[in-house]
Structures are given as C-alpha cells and as structure tokens.
Structure 1
Amino acid sequence: MKKIVNNIPGFLLALTIALIATYIESLLPIPIIGASVMAIFIGMILNQLKKTNQLIKTGLVFTSKRILKFSIILLGASLSIGTILNVGKLSLSVMFFTLLTAFGGGYFIGKWLGLDWKLSNMISAGTGICGGSAIAAMAPVIDAKDNDIAYAMSATFIFDVLMIILFPIMGRLMGLSDIAYGLWTGTAVNDTSSVVAAGYAYSEAAGDFATMVKLTRTLSIIPTVLVFSLISARVKAKSAQKIHARQHKIKISSLFPWFILGFVMMAIFNSLGFIPETVSVTIKAISKFLMVTSLAAIGLNTDFREMKKSGINPMIHGFIISALVVIVSLVVQYFMGLL
C-alpha cells in the first residue's frame, strides 16, 4: 500500500502535464504537433526549471515504465486483422520495403554516425513504424534511457512537421491518385496524428486510406519488439561475459514481454468482434492519454545537458532515414504500377 501511495505524487504531476498537452492539442486547427510530443517537451522544460525531488521521481519512474506498458496493451484494442485484409497486399508490399529501409539502412547509418544501438534503432522504429508509439513500445525491452527516448521522439517529430507541410504539395505536383497518395503517406509519415493531418489535407479518400495503412503499419510493433527483445538479451549476455553455452540460455518469457502479449490479445479480441466499436474507440482514447502521461514522466526525467552529449548525429540519422523511407515508398509504388 505504501508503495502505491509513493507513486501518486509523480503520477499526478505527469497526469497534469498530459491534460495540459491534450488541451493545447485540441486548440490547434490541424494536428501539427501531437499531445505526446508537447507533453515530453513540457516535462523537459519543467525539469530544467526545477529538479524533481525523490518522492516525485518514484512516481515518475512508475509512470514512465508501468503505465507506459499498460498504454501499449490498450492500444491493441484499436487494431484488427480485418484492417490488414481491407488494406490488402498493396500496402503490405510497400511496408515491407520501407521497414527494411528503416532498420537495414538505420543500422549502417547508425554505425557510420557512431550512435548507441539503442538510440539508433528507436529512431528507426519511430520512422519505420509509427513514431512515438513504436519508440514507447520498444524502449522497455531494450532498457532505453529516458534521455534517449526523448531524443528519438524529437528526431522523428521534427520531420513529421515538415512532412505535414510538404506531402500535400509534392503529391499534387506529382499528380498522385488518392490511393497512391494515401499509401505513400501511410507508409512514409511517422506519427498517427501527422498521417491524419497530411492525408486529409490532400483529400478525404486519401486521408481514409492513409489512416487504414497506418493502423496496419502499427501491427509491425509486435515482431519488431520481439526481435529487439532477443537482441537485447544477447547483448546483456555478451556484456556479462557468459562464456558457456548453458549460460547463454534465455527464458522464453524474457523474449516475449508480457505487455506485448497483452497487446496481441487485445488485437485478437477486437478482430473477433468481442470488443464493441464504441468501446474500442474509448479504449484507444484512454491508451493515447496514458501514453501522453507516460511521455510527460519521461520528459520530467530528461536532462537537456545529457541529450546535448549525443550531439547532432541523431538528428542527421533521423533525417537520412526519413528521406530514404519517403523515396523507397514511391519507388516501390512505381514498380507496382500505382504511379
């Protein structure tokens, strides 16, 4: 009971920031900046103005770890296997190559820039999958630092803003159809709110298709987290210098994080129709808000000075990967005969 009480002050502080960020987002005419990004920056600014005491920090750690995982579980209720079938092989083919570009290209670019593998791959996940949600899902399984989470969020956010402005302009210059533009936007723009903004700025049909593609793309969180759970386990074993084969054995439970299991179960329940649409919409809203709350806690735990130590290289990484994904999405569509 005492442990729960100790978590309350930090949780309430993060919750307050989440409410403020969500309110500010609601005032914007178009969702250029999502509440999650605003929450993390508000938290970072407050942390610079006044350092949090130990009592507050306890609740912030709880919120940034446990509440974050719970929000990912709830996110599964908004996803459906039916969505994948509706969007079809059309989007899955493009997504395969954009994800290959994000992680394959990201690996070599990260090596070239000398980035820590955790930060590099969180940027790749944010760019290749779904911005903040992918970064949030991946962070716990690789034991990412709050500073790196904040930096990865920042790197993907900057290019999202540019894409919202440039995509409708470029789409019209290239004369893309609603389907081609929606597929391009859904596979190349990072955050869900940014996909919605860029999609509907082109047309309603393009916005609808872009949103469906984006939801399908979100499901790739599952294999991505499992793969990086395995990679993280191997890295830990290597760093601990476990020589004998028997010492390298890894528990299945550690390779399949419990919150991803919950995420999968929620998606299955929704696919089978066990979750009514109205309930699914409500759960998705709760998931989004709890994620914003968790990111506010991460912001409150983040120090600008620590982020500055990473230099500009993470931003360069994000720019190169984003540009490559944008180009690859168009190239694949060209060879598929959609352009």
Structure 2
Amino acid sequence: MLEDMVRNLFYIGIIISASGLIGPPFALAAGLAFGLTTVHHFHVESRQLSKFLLQAAVVCLGFGMNLKEVVHAGRSGFMYTAISITFVLSLGILLGRMLKVEKTQSLLIAIGTAICGGSAIAAMGPVLDAGEEEMGVSLGTVFVLNSVALLLFPLIGWYMHLTQTQFGLWAALAIHDTSSVVGAGAKYGATALAVGTTVKLARALWIVPLAIATATLRKNKAKIYWPWFILYFCAAAVLASYVPHYLPQMAAVFAGLNRLGKSALTVVLFLIGTGITCTTLKEVGVRPLIQGVTLWIVVAGLSLWAIHLGWIAL
C-alpha cells in the first residue's frame, strides 16, 4: 500500500511539473522533498528519463533561439570558456590531491565542474574506466550543487543588479549542468536564458576534444558518448531563424516546440530532485563534497567578480 502511494506521488509530481502549474524552482524543490522524505526505487528510471528529457528539452529550446544570438554568444564566450576550463581542471585536480580524494573520482568532479556536470561525467566515465560507485559519488556531488545553484543564483543576480546578459554568462560559466543553467536563466529572464544556454552549450562542446585526448593518452578504446543533442540544438536554431521567413506558419510550430522544451525541462528538474536521497548524500562523502563545494565557490565567486567589474562581457 505504501509503495503504491509513493509511486502515485512520483507520477503526480511528473504530471504537475509538465502541466505548467509550477515553475522550474518549485519542481526541483518538490523533487527534493520527495527524494529526501520517501523511500523509493526510481533512481535508475529517474536518471535515464531525465537524461533523455534534458537533451530533448535543449533541442526544443533551440527553436526559440535566434541564430545570430547563438553564434555571437558562442564566439564571444569561447575564450572565457577555454580559460575557465583550464583553470577549473587544474584547481580541481590540485584540491583532490590536497584532500586525498580518489584519483578518478577527483578528476570526474573536476571535469563535471569545468565543462557541463552530469553530461561530462557520463561521457568521461567510460574513458576513465570509472566504476559505478565513482560515477555515483561524482554525479551525486554535482547534482547536490546544481540544486543549490538553481535556487541561489537568481537571488544573487538580483541582489547584485546583474543585467540579464551578465547573469546568463555567469550562469553558463559557474553552474554545472545545462538543465540548471536553463532553469536559472528562465527564472531571471528571456535574454539570460538565451545567453546562458548558448554559452553553456558552446562550453559543453569541449567534451569532445577532452574525451578524445584522454582516450588517446590512456590508449583506451572505450566508447565515447558524443553530445549529439548539441548539434541538434544548433540545427533547431537554424530552422527557427530562417524557415519562418519563407513559411510564416511554421513560426507557431516552432513556438510550440519551444514551450514543450520548457515543460520538459521542468519535469527534468523534478526528476533530478527525486534522485537526491539521504543515501545519495551519504554516498557522496565528506572529502569529495568538500572538493566539489570549494571548487564551485571559487569558480562562481571569481567569475561573478570578473563579470561585475566588466572584465568578462559579451
């Protein structure tokens, strides 16, 4: 009876999240409340479904983008992204050694922080021959910090009076997962959403050269999980930017797909929340969590400081 009730609550949460009755932050909060207060067995299903929905949501959000904005943000953010990734990887590895975090686990946390959270960890895990426990601890650390960032970043942005462009750039440089960048950007405003998503996706492209270089150095023949959804996002942006000029009726279709992407994103955030359980928090452990939190605070603080002073701008 109790198991059936928990299952029903899980499905109800998905339905309400998809309905548009609640926004992304409330969906995440509801998912966290479910995950931390109930005993359920939906962890694997939630992770698989959220991964698919996240990628589908990002592609659908591409139908709401303007190609000029995508190209401009990606080109302008390239140098910042390259510098940021190099710095974060170096600092993450150093912190891991200082805290005596297991080598593979430490590297996964550093890569997840430097590039794009769970997607980078999922792509690099097979290349590094990471075990399930190492993957779980790394993903758990990133997901916990993602949850905090989604709620905290908009508040800091409003307090600091950041423009939407500044906030979008900060979110893209300092928040781990694309889903949380999109969620925070959507909460802050349309321009913040566009800037944050495009710069973040440009940053996510670094998975490809990093995975190839790592596999080559390790002489590892493991399968590399390519982030094809980024290519589909760009294709969607191209269609949305040019097709309505020739077929005006398609503008409504693309707008509908964009709204569908936002609804899917809200469901993703609920599912991510349900995956954060008391067991997950215990598995993360103290030292990896300290490494992840310290690295994240340094990255978020330095990037916010540089953006606020105008040293980083689009």
Q: Structure 1 length normalisation: TM-score? A: 0.64
The aligned runs of 1:256-271 (5 Å cut-off) are: 256-257=225-226, 260-265=227-232, 267-269=234-236, 271=238
Superposed displacement of residue 256, structure 1: 5.0
Structure-1 separation of matches of 2:66 and 2:260:
17
The aligned runs of 1:172-191 (5 Å cut-off) are: 181-189=163-171, 190=175, 191=181
Secondary structure of the structure 2 residue equivalent to 1:303: helix
Name which one, 1 or 2, has greater alpha-carbon Rg: 1
Q: Which residue of the other structure, out of 36, 44, 56, is the alignment partner of 1:61?
A: 44
Q: Does 1:320 align with 2:310?
A: no
Q: 1:328 is aligned with what amino acid?
A: A
Superposed displacement of residue 45, structure 1: 1.2
The 1:20–1:72 alpha-carbon spacing in structure 2 relative to 1, beyond 3 Å, is: same
Q: Does 1:112 align with 2:94?
A: yes
Q: Match of 2:131?
A: none
Q: 2:192 is aligned with what amino acid?
A: A
Q: 2:293 is aligned with what amino acid?
A: M
The 1:312–1:16 alpha-carbon spacing in structure 2 relative to 1, beyond 3 Å, is: farther
The 1:317–1:43 alpha-carbon spacing in structure 2 relative to 1, beyond 3 Å, is: farther
Q: Match of 1:122?
A: 112
The 1:302–1:226 alpha-carbon spacing in structure 2 relative to 1, beyond 3 Å, is: farther
For structure 2, which runs of at least 5 residues remain unmatched after alignment? 126-133, 176-180, 244-249
Structure-2 separation of matches of 1:73 and 1:263:
10
Secondary structure of the structure 2 residue equivalent to 1:312: helix
The aligned runs of 1:153-192 (5 Å cut-off) are: 153-171=143-161, 181-189=163-171, 190=175, 191-192=181-182
The 1:139–1:313 alpha-carbon spacing in structure 2 relative to 1, beyond 3 Å, is: closer
Structure-1 separation of matches of 2:36 and 2:213:
33
Q: Match of 1:283?
A: 260
Indicate the RMSD between aligned Cα atoms, in angstroms: 4.0
Structure-2 separation of matches of 1:148 and 1:77:
28
Using the aligned pairs only, state the percent identity: 9
The aligned runs of 1:94-243 (5 Å cut-off) are: 94-114=76-96, 116-125=106-115, 134-143=116-125, 145-171=135-161, 181-189=163-171, 190=175, 191-197=181-187, 199=188, 207-220=189-202, 222-230=204-212, 233=215, 238=218
The 1:280–1:312 alpha-carbon spacing in structure 2 relative to 1, beyond 3 Å, is: same
Secondary structure of the structure 1 residue equivalent to 2:160: helix
Structure-1 separation of matches of 2:278 and 2:15:
18
Structure-1 separation of matches of 2:59 and 2:225:
16
**How many residue pairs end up in the alignment?**
276
Q: Does 1:35 align with 2:18?
A: no
Superposed displacement of residue 60, structure 1: 3.5
Structure-2 separation of matches of 1:147 and 1:24:
32
The aligned runs of 1:291-330 (5 Å cut-off) are: 291-292=268-269, 294-296=271-273, 298-300=275-277, 302-309=279-286, 310-330=288-308
Structure-1 separation of matches of 2:237 and 2:71:
19
Q: Structure 2 length normalisation: TM-score? A: 0.69
Q: Match of 1:272?
A: 239
Q: 2:231 is aligned with what amino acid?
A: V
The 1:107–1:271 alpha-carbon spacing in structure 2 relative to 1, beyond 3 Å, is: same
